Structure 1
Amino acid sequence: MNIQASKHVTITCNDRQTISAHLFTPTSPIKGAVMIAPATGIKQQFYANFATYLQQHGFGVITFDNRGIGQSLNRSIKKSKATLQTWGEQDMPAVLEYLQKTFPGTRHHLVGHSAGGQLVGLMHNADQLSSAFNFACSSGKLTNMRLAYQVKAQFFMNGVIPVSNALFGHTKSQWFGMGEPLPKGVAKQWQKWCNAQGYVQSAFGDTVFQHCYNTLVMPSMWVNATDDDIANNANVADMLSVFSKLKASKLTLNPKDYGLKEIGHMKFFSKKSDGLWSHALEWLNKHS
């Protein structure tokens, strides 16, 4: 199938903040449309190969950088007011609206990576999604991790984040292989939520007063990997407990079954792991 290159677009959120996105449009009749919601601090370019794969199979796709990240960082990072909550309440709904306007008359789906799937319940229009395919989406609760990794996670979350925020006005997460530099508010909320039960649930009645975690009923697939220390089975279950009515299926991948050295928290979307992508394609085909 012939494909065309992705197109850069700018999306304006309800609070007038603009974010950068890329559209992948199939040349064949469209099967459905997909928004790929990124993990914390991960730029949209990371998902380009996967987006192209879906495009080749007849899906319209949009990738994007959350405010304060990558091409959506349009001011000094120290001045960014971004939080995880604004990503879910402002950025993700605006992306879905843009996707709906660009590809009308079809079903719209979420492919969420880590935070991208965790934050869906903050979207005021999440009920307009026909399905969700989430990879490595969990509560990230620190005390549910194996001890050796928990020590590293505790050091980063409860040591690096507050110290870096105090010294630099943002978190230098790139120094620790944790994606892009993070706006102060994003990192602070990330730290708080991963220290609690149920991730965003800890903010209910505090900063989060409206959400749809307890009303979403769309079919969803939650995929993790046996070698992921963050989104382990306990943390996936912890996150799913926040979605009281969601129709959830679960799949745990073993890298050895696919001839891979690792999948972990990030490698599902790597070009080297394209043998895994059929899981997402089969899900999207089934629900489109």
Structure 2
Amino acid sequence: MNLQDIPSLAPTQFELPLPTRTPGESFKEPAADGFLLGGFTWRHTHQDPTRPVVIINAATSVRCRHYSRFADYLFANGFDVITYDYRGIGESRPASLKGLEATWSDWGALDFEAMLQRAQRVFAGQPINVVGHSFGGCAAGLGASGHLIRRLVTVGAQFAYWRDYAPAHRWRMFAKWHVVMPLMTTLCGYFPGKRLGWLEDTPAGVVRDWSTPSDRYEKRPSGRLIHARTGRLPFANVSAQTLAISLSDDPYGTIPAIERLLGYLTGSTNTHLRITPEDIGEEEVGHFAFFRSAYQATLWPIALSWLQTGELAPDTPGRRMPRN
């Protein structure tokens, strides 16, 4: 079977564009289990204990290089920045993904936690902020040191419960991510996303988490393990000022999907900002485009303002969603 011969599931406007240019200084950081993670650091020459450092958590199977221009922007506006790849992706990919033990919970509890520890060590005493895209917002709640996060900005953040997908796209997305993806993973031992032109190649354990059709994170295969070990999910450790940004034309980041994840952040003060493309003079934005430099003047200042002050500017586009 030729992986390209799936016409009804070919890439769409919601897929990832090509990676951006090579970013700042590279590093290697071991997670607690010894797995070596790769990433990049934007660091000002003179250390300032009042300068925040921002950790950027990528979406599932999206390379950290996709966020390089956004990292440049944050650096130019006075932040130190860390971007990194989860195990199995990009700078953190081993020679083969077959047999690699990697799950969504590993990406949060081990990989993101390693970045929190790195931020504490390399940027000692500086406040720690986090930006999480898609699953990256979920990963921000899985680190044991989540209490260190001062401010959190999420973009389209959810954990892929299929009933939360936008109705107009739901069945196509279900077939793609919950039927074809696990099938291809079973055949290949990992998900060959690059050959399909969908996303990066993805470890089998992550695919199991993504494709399990459950509305509760702790019912996902690796989520159950975290819950059993600790007696509770670690989301409650996060007490950050949290801004959840969602786009009305994002078929993943629907209102129910965003609110479902925010429901886990019980220790945080949460604001959900819903933006339509028309609010910023665009026809479409979708799930991935927020971090493209085309939105530097319209969308990026929203995240910047929150990271700087924990507040939205009076002229911020979009509307605040009421909290339950």
Scaled by the length of structure 2, the TM-score of the pair is: 0.82
Q: 2:235 & 2:35 partners in 1: Cα distance?
A: 25
Alignment match, 1:269:
291
Q: 1:197 & 1:48 partners in 2: Cα distance?
A: 32
Structure 1, residues 235-279: CA drift from partner, whole Å, max 9, x if none? 111111222232101111222222333221111101111121101
Alignment match, 1:17:
35
Q: 2:84 & 2:222 partners in 1: Cα distance?
A: 26
Alignment match, 2:104:
84
Equivalent residue letter for 2:126: T
Q: 2:310 & 2:125 partners in 1: Cα distance?
A: 15
The 8 Å contact of residues 41 and 178 in structure 1, kept in 2 or not, is answered as: no
Alignment match, 2:12:
none
Q: 2:225 & 2:283 partners in 1: Cα distance?
A: 41
In percent, how many aligned pairs have the same letter? 26
Q: 1:205 & 1:284 partners in 2: Cα distance?
A: 29
Structure 1, residues 5-25: CA drift from partner, whole Å, max 9, x if none? 711000011100001010011
1:212 and 2:230 correspond: no
Scaled by the length of structure 1, the TM-score of the pair is: 0.91
Unaligned runs of 5+ in 1: none
The 8 Å contact of residues 144 and 237 in structure 2, kept in 1 or not, is answered as: no
Equivalent residue letter for 1:229: P
1:235 and 2:253 correspond: no
Moved more, 243-252 or 57-66: 243-252
Instruction: After TM superposition, give the deviation of residue 146 of structure 1 in Å.
Output: 3.0
Q: 1:243 & 1:150 partners in 2: Cα distance?
A: 26
Q: 2:123 & 2:60 partners in 1: Cα distance?
A: 26
Alignment match, 1:197:
215
Instruction: After TM superposition, give the deviation of residue 196 of structure 1 in Å.
Output: 1.2
Q: 2:55 & 2:223 partners in 1: Cα distance?
A: 29
Alignment match, 2:44:
26
Structure 1, residues 80-118: CA drift from partner, whole Å, max 9, x if none? 211111101110011111122121222101100111111
Alignment match, 1:6:
24
Shift in CA distance, 232/205, structure 1 to aligned 2, threshold 3 Å = closer
RMSD: 2.0
Structure 1, residues 198-233: CA drift from partner, whole Å, max 9, x if none? 334555883223332234322100001011011111
Report the 3-state secondary structure (helix = DSSP H, G, I; strand = E; otherwise coil) of the residue aligned with 1:170.
Answer: coil
Structure whose residues are more often helix by fraction:
1
Alignment match, 1:285:
308
The 8 Å contact of residues 105 and 222 in structure 2, kept in 1 or not, is answered as: no
1:223 and 2:245 correspond: yes
1:114-153 matches, within 5 Å, as: 114-153=134-173
